[in-house]
Amino acid sequence: MNKKELATKIVKLVGGAQNIKSLTHCITRLRFVLKDDRMAKTKEIEQLDVVGVQIQGGQYQVIIGNGVTKVFREIMEQYPSLDLVDSGIDHDGEKKFSFNTAIGTLSSILVAALPPIVAGGMIQGLTFFAREKGWLDPESTLNFVLKITGNAMFFFLPFLIAVSAARKFKTNEYMALALAGIIMHPDLMRMVGENDPLTAFGFLPLPLIDYSSSILPILLGVWILKYVWNWIEKWMPDLISTVFTPLLTILIMAPVMLIGVAPVGFYIGDYLAIGIQWLIDQAPWLAGFVIGSTRPFLVIVGMHHAIRPIQLQQIATFGYTTITPANFLSTMATATATFSTYFLVKDRKQKQIVLSSAFSGFLGITEPALYGVLTKYKATMVGTLIGGGLGGMIATMMGARAYSGGMPSILTIPIFMGGGPASILVGLGVTVVSSFLITYLLGKTIFKAEGIEITDDKEEKEPVSQIKSSVVYSPAAGKVVELSQVSDHIFAEKMLGEGIAIDAPNGEVMSPVTGVITTVFKTKHAIGITDENGVEVLIHIGIDTVKLEGKYFEVFCTEGQTIKTGDLLVKFDGEKIKLAGYESSVIVVVTNTNDFVSVLPEKTRGQVNLGEKMLTVIA
C-alpha cells in the first residue's frame, strides 16, 4: 500500500475529514484530535500498514513509523480543509486562540528550522571547548572557518524562521524571505549605532536596529504578510496578478516591517530592561529570580539583547554586574532540564536531539535546547524557569557578581565568582538539582499525558551502559537475504533497525531469543519480543502481508508471555502467501539498534539453520 492510499484510508477510518478537529504529527505518528473518538474504527486502522493506534492525552494517535511525514503530506494534499487547523480555525469557521495554540504554533515553526540550529550549536560548543583547552589557535584560519560556520545559522536566523513561518501560515515562502532580507540588509546593518534614527514619510521614525538572531520581528511580519498577500490576490485580476500582487505586497510590507512590526520586539525589550533595572535597584534577590527564570523567553523572542546595556552600565558604574551570574545559571538550568528530558522521551531520534542540545547548552549554546526542546516539552520549560529562577535568586542573595562579560558556559565558571566561589557554586547546585528533579517529576506526572513521547515506569529502558551484549538466533531455516535486498524500502533502508531476512520454506518461526512477547499483531504477520538484556526484536513475515488479515497464519504465543529461544511462535503457509501475490520471507530486525554500539549480522548470504547464530548485539 502506497502512502497516498494509506492516507486516504486513515482519514476515512477516523470518521472522515469532518470528524477531524486538528491534525499534527511527530517523528513516528499522526496525532489527531477528533470531534468524536467513537467514530474512529480502531481495529480496521490497526489492520492497515501501520504500527498501531494509541489514544493518549486527548489525541487519537496512529503510529506510522519513519514514513509519517509522507503520509501527513498526502493527507494535507487530499484534504486542504485541514489546513484550517494550522491557523487555529475549526471546521465550523470559528477562530480559536489560546496560550497553548500560540506555543504550539511557535514550537512547530522553530522545530522545522531546528536541524541547522542543532548543527551550529554543536560546532560553536566544540570550537569554544577546543579554544579553551588550547587545542585550537584563535587566530588560525580553521578557527575562523568554524566560527562563521557555527554562527551563520544564528546570525541569519530570520531567514530560517521566514521559511518555516511561511509554511506554517500557508503563505509565499519567497516573499517571506524577501521580508527577512529587508530587515537584514547590509546597508541597514551598517547604520545601526552609527546614525540617528531615520524618518519615513517626513514624520514616522524608522528605528535602526540589529535584527540578526531575532525571531519575533520576522515571525510577526510573515503572519501579517499572509493576510496582505491574500487580500491583494483576492481582488487582483488574474491577468496582472503575477506581477502586481507581489509588487503591492512588498510595497506595503516593507514600511510596515521597518517602521512598525520589526521594532516591536526592540521596544518591548527596552521597557523590559528598564523594569529589570528598577528591580535590581529595589530588590536584587527578586531581580535574580526574574532574570534567571525569564531569560529563555527573552532569547526565544530575541529580546535578551536589551539586557546587555544594563550589564555594561553596571560594570561601568560599580565595576561588576549581578546580571551575568543569573544569566549563567539560567543557561545551566536550560541544559540540565534538557538533559533530564533525555530520560523521559522514548523516541530514539528525539533522544539524540535532546542529548546533543543538552551538550551544547552546558557549553553555553542554548538555542538548540530552547527551539527544539523547551518550546516542545512543557515539563522542560517549567523545570528550566523554576530552576533558573531559584538558582539566580540564591546566587544574587549571596552576592554573586562578575567583573566582565563572557559566554555562560560550564567551562567559564571562574568568571562568575566575583562575589566569592560559594555564591555561584551554591547557586549552581540549586539550579542543577531543582531543574533536573522538577523536569523529571513533571514529566512523570502533570505533563505525562500531554501528547508528548514521555515514558512511564514500565516502559523505561536501562541506560546503555547497563545493557549487556546479546545474540539473536535464526528463527527459521532457509536462505539468508541481506536486509538491503528486501523489497520494502522501510526494511531495506534499515529505518526500523539492523537485521537480516530469511527465505524460509518450512513455514515455522521459532523465537530467536529468550524474553517476553511485547507485541502480537492482530494480523498475525508480526511479533515483537524484548529479550533479557533489553534487545527489542521484531519478526515480520512477508511484505504487505498485513493485507491478508491473518489468513494463512497461525500464532502460538500471546502478549506478555515469557518465551525461550526455540519456542514456536508462528506457523504460516508460504506457498499460499506467494500465490496470493506476496513475499513470504521472514525478516528479523533489532528495532532499538541505536541503543547499542553495533548490531552485526553473522551471515549475509548462503543457508542458515534453525537456531544458528544470526545477529550479535554489542552493548
The CA distance from 5 to 53, in Å, is 18
The yes-or-no answer on residue 540 being catalytic is yes
Block residue for cell numbers 529589570:
276
Per DSSP, 545 falls in state G
Contact present, 330 and 295 (Cβ < 8 Å): yes
The CA distance from 53 to 266, in Å, is 46
CA distances from 131 to 111, 362, 447 (A): 30, 16, 40
The yes-or-no answer on residue 26 being catalytic is yes
Burial class (CB in 10 A: 0-12, 13-18, 19+), 317: exposed
Q: Which of 25, 304, 305, 540 is catalytic?
A: 540
Per DSSP, 95 falls in state B
Contact present, 506 and 477 (Cβ < 8 Å): yes
Triad 572, 545, 486: Cα angle to 5°: 100
SS3 321: strand
246 forms bridges with which residues in the sheet?
A: none
What are the percentages of helix, strand and coil residues in the chain, rounded to 5? 55, 15, 30
CA distances from 410 to 30, 181, 437 (A): 39, 35, 20
CA distances from 91 to 19, 34, 38, 493 (A): 9, 12, 19, 39
> What does the DSSP assignment read for 411-435?
GGGGGG-TT-HHHHHHHHHHHHHHH
Contact present, 373 and 353 (Cβ < 8 Å): yes
Per DSSP, 214 falls in state -
The one-letter amino acid code at 25 reads H
Q: Which of 26, 304, 305, 525 is catalytic?
A: 26
CA distances from 196 to 36, 191, 251, 266 (A): 59, 9, 24, 16
The CA distance from 218 to 532, in Å, is 52
Catalytically active residues, by annotation: 26, 540
